[in-house]
Amino acid sequence: MKQYKKSYEIKNMAKDRLESRYGGAILITFLSFLLSGMARLSINSVCVSTMNTVYAMTGSTGASAGISVLFDILLVTAGVLFGVMNAGIALYFLNLACGQRASVRDLFYGFRTDSKRYLVISAALALCQTICLWPGQYLFQNYISTRDLKWIFYALGAAGAGLCIYIPVSLGIALSFYLALDFPENTGKETLSLCWRMMKGHRSRLFLLELGFLPLTLLCILSFGIGFLWLEPYMQMTHACFFLDLMNPGSAR
């Protein structure tokens, strides 16, 4: 009978693997956040200025809304492209977890090696998030525009329904980048399908594992975000250790 580690055992293993190696781990996660954050900020800035210009020229809210939709699509596209860096992050933390050499240059591994496969995985994760969570965000924006309380209830309902779909689906494909590294012969679609099958019976384990980070997340928010420099590498290493335990129960020590 397979004996999988408990959540606290996986987290303890992650702490051990990160001991004296936080420097590079912080750097690679910070670079990923910085690059993707700068791209989103640039797109949002151009979107706002373009919408204001179009509205000033046409006086049409419909035209401004159309511009907003176009930039939303651009944001999703950028999210897919930058999501490929998650393959490099997965490689970096898997190497650390297995005691192998890891380099910050691993961040761009997904762009150097069979990028189409990683693009498919990144697109699946980004579209899952967009389809499930965007309706609630859109309805909440309507409340901000109109200050009509009914949009709050619509937004909460849409967000609740979206989360009920998003959480199990995202957990089912959460380890796809790790599997893509372990099975390089598989296509992106095959990797997603394999991950979905492997995660059956384990989604609740991963959910509880991630839920355990909630108190630390709140503390990081209270630290004005500074704590995330240490929390993000810890979470990434925990996911890597969870993957190793899933693939080889009881063997990762």
**Is 4 exposed, middle or buried (CB count within 10 Å of its CB: 0-12, 13-18, 19+)?**
middle
pTM of the predicted model over 0.85: yes
135, two tokens? 């309706």
Q: What gap in Å lies between CA 40 and CA 82, rounded to an integer? A: 10
pLDDT at residue 60, as a whole number: 62
By percentage, how much of the chain surpasses pLDDT 90?
A: 63
Contact 27, 228 (CB under 8 A): no
Average pLDDT over residues 182-192: 94
Position 234 confidence tier, pLDDT thresholds 50, 70, 90: very high
pLDDT digits (tens, 9 = 90+) for 21-72: 899 999 999 999 999 999 888 888 887 777 777 666 776 666 666 777 787 8
Q: Tokens for 130?
A: 């967009």
Task: Give the integer Cα–Cα distance in Å for 162 and 165.
Answer: 5
Q: Kindly give the interhelix angle for 228-247 and 214-222, rounded to the nearest 10 degrees.
A: 160
Is the pLDDT at 197 greater than 60? The verdict is: yes
The DSSP call for residue 186 is S
CB 187 within 8 A of CB 120: yes
